[in-house]
């Protein structure tokens, strides 16, 4: 059984209908914008850019931490080089380069 206790005037009912139509039209416009191909592509691009920025940020932090660790290994608290650590590493590097050069030279002969 329908409720017949509505005490609104016809003008109030018409105003309510106009207001609801306006809200419905706004909602439909919003849905239309959301499902528009350009909006979908733009959202997808924004998500990809955000993911790339996040990944690059994490990579930057990791590289920065690694550089800081290497710097701390080869310098003291004052920033002066620690020769007792640098010289052995340099000798190993020179030795490896020499072995690679000899190996390349022997293959050519």
pLDDT digit string (tens) for 74-83? 998 888 999 9
pLDDT band at 56; cut points 50, 70, 90: very high
How many alpha carbons fall within 13 Å on the CB side of residue 67? Answer: 6
Q: Assess whether 48 and 69 both reside in one domain.
A: yes
Provide the whole-model pTM: 0.48
In a domain, 91, yes or no: yes
Q: Assess whether 65 and 89 both reside in one domain.
A: no
In a domain, 102, yes or no: yes
Number of domains in the chain: 2
Cα–Cα dist 70/15, whole Å? 73
Alpha helices in 1-109 (DSSP H): 10-35, 37-74, 83-108
Cα–Cα dist 98/92, whole Å? 10
pLDDT at 5 over 80: no
Q: Assess whether 44 and 66 both reside in one domain.
A: yes
pLDDT at 2 over 90: no
Domain housing 56: 33-74
In a domain, 25, yes or no: no
């Amino acid at each position: 059984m329908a409720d017949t206790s509505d005490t609104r005037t016809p003008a109030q009912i018409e105003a309510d209908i106009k207001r609801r139509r306006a809200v419905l039209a706004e909602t439909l416009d919003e849905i239309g914008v959301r499902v528009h191909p350009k909006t979908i592509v733009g959202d997808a691009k924004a998500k990809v850019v955000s993911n790339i920025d996040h990944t690059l940020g994490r990579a930057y932090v990791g590289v920065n931490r690694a550089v800081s660790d290497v710097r701390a290994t080869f310098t003291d608290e004052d920033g002066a080089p620690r020769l007792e650590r640098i010289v052995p590493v340099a000798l190993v590097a020179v030795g490896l380069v020499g072995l690679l050069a000899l190996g390349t030279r022997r293959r050519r002969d």
